[in-house]
Structure 1
Amino acid sequence: MPLRTRELLRLLAAINSRLSGDVSLPVLAVWAHRSQFDLHRQFRRLVGETPKAYTTRVRLASAAAELVSTDRRVSAVAFDHGFASHEVFTRTFTRHFGHSPREYRTRGLHVAGRRTAAVHASTVGSTAPCISLYRISTAERKPAVPLDISVRDLSAFHALVMRRRVTRDEIATALAESLPTVFGYAQRHGLTITGPPFARYPEVGMGSLVIEGGITVAAPPSAALDDGIEALAIPAGRAVVALHRGPYDCLPESYQEIERWMRDQGLSAAAAPWETYLTDPGERPDPATWETEIVQPVR
């Protein structure tokens, strides 16, 4: 029997709550009531990486955030993130980030400060586990729920994005590729991550659309970016903001409700809309609890 999305999310929640403990494949197979072979195959199909690669990546991301936001000893950080020894941690960390833990800490974040470091660490901790699962389909629909819609004045922000032209059915796949790439680039280069992942839609057509998947950063990078990753600056301005509660599959209905609300208020779009994924699916496995903020700049 295939591993259902809800079962996978519950398993990820269990893994993420025990990342300093034993989350090896035999243990996960017992939790999931499946054979090791079957779990390995289905986990990779749904998450895009093996259970071992997943747990190692999430542990390293969290450890890297702690290194630049605290003064704790490297050996203590290694132990608290499930690594058996300082040597194993250093070797694995260096292979993943291109710097040893001490070098990574010494370089620090590109925007220094205790407050920004704390924001960065908190954001990484809540984002890394399911960076490839935002917009995942659960094949669930919900009855229409009135949105919380308001008009706000938003501040300018900086972001890193990857741009793709896709069909509507390919949005989740595009984000599963772009968000981990952008997130990983930001962490490797010590960029200060300041908010959850988002997707922006600069062009929407009948057959396809352009999607920009990325993360917000405290300041634009000073070095040249890798191929496919772009710096984005969103200016301050007035926008309609709505909070969508529920599965990602129901987002189109929320966009339609926002359009109707704007017409009633005599507002028109002034720039591309975007959606920010406020809830980590691996922390809250029930899609009914997921929150997505939709922003439409207006004039």
Structure 2
Amino acid sequence: MRRTNIDLKEDYTHRLSRVFSFIEKNLDADLSLKIVAARAHFSEYHFHRVFKFVTGETLNEYVTRKRIERAALDLVHRKNTIKTTAFKFGFSSMSSFSKTFKKIYGISPKEFQFQNPNKFSKIRQLESKIGQAYPDIEKYICIINNIKNWIIMKADIQIKEFSDLNLACVSCTGPQNLGLAYQKILLWATPKNLMSEDSKMVTIYHDSFKVTEPDKIRMSACLILEKPTETSHQIHEKNIERGKYIVGHFKINMTEFEKSWTGLFIWMNENGYQKADKDPFEIYYNNPNEHPDKKAIVDFCIPIV
């Protein structure tokens, strides 16, 4: 049977999943085509074609974008000096960093750091969706206070130590593809009798909506494994490392996920915590479609140092 472009893209995406992780963990290092292709066990020529086919970007374009996005988050969450951030993410000069940063975000790193840090956040996205201009300082403070009050009523927030979580995952790009990724997990897990009333699904966010365009957000749809299980060519294993997390437990409508994440990050900042260099994730405790009020029971988890 002839394989379609969609089939090929899904297969290559799976094969590149470890490459994406390697890139994200080594943004300060040499990520040349030769080094990354060798990591993927492809020839340089074949890897270049496959990578562009899957991501729509060359390796250099992808790495540069990831470095700038991570640098932007670093400026927002850690308030590092611009020079420290530039060298932390592999830029050899301030001029190169500033020029590339401005090309992606339209403003300099200095302007980005000292402007309202939520200009690029989900609040901005929600405002723009309904045709409103970005709020002035009074309106902004009102929005923040409303979210703070809302999260106090909606969430049980705790600091928890997590043990290692072993997962079976399917990665995808763009929120519109997350449902299909979960279908693949279920089709793989059900015949293996891995699904039960106690099974928990997890969504990992490898990128942030604060700084990455939605259609380029990488996510993983996952199932928590209770024991070691052999995966398939489309399912990869992943481990969420033990560590300390802010955990917000919610019972919410599906339309309230963005507001919940925004509120939890505000809570993090207000209480003096700092995000760790790990990916945030959601743990689901039910199927919202089976809840009488269509509510999702979910933990939002932010890794902290």
Output the TM-score relative to the length of structure 1.
0.46
Output the TM-score relative to the length of structure 2.
0.45
The structure with the largest helix share of the pair is: 2
Larger relative contact order, structure 1 or 2 (CA cutoff 8 Å, min sep 6): 1
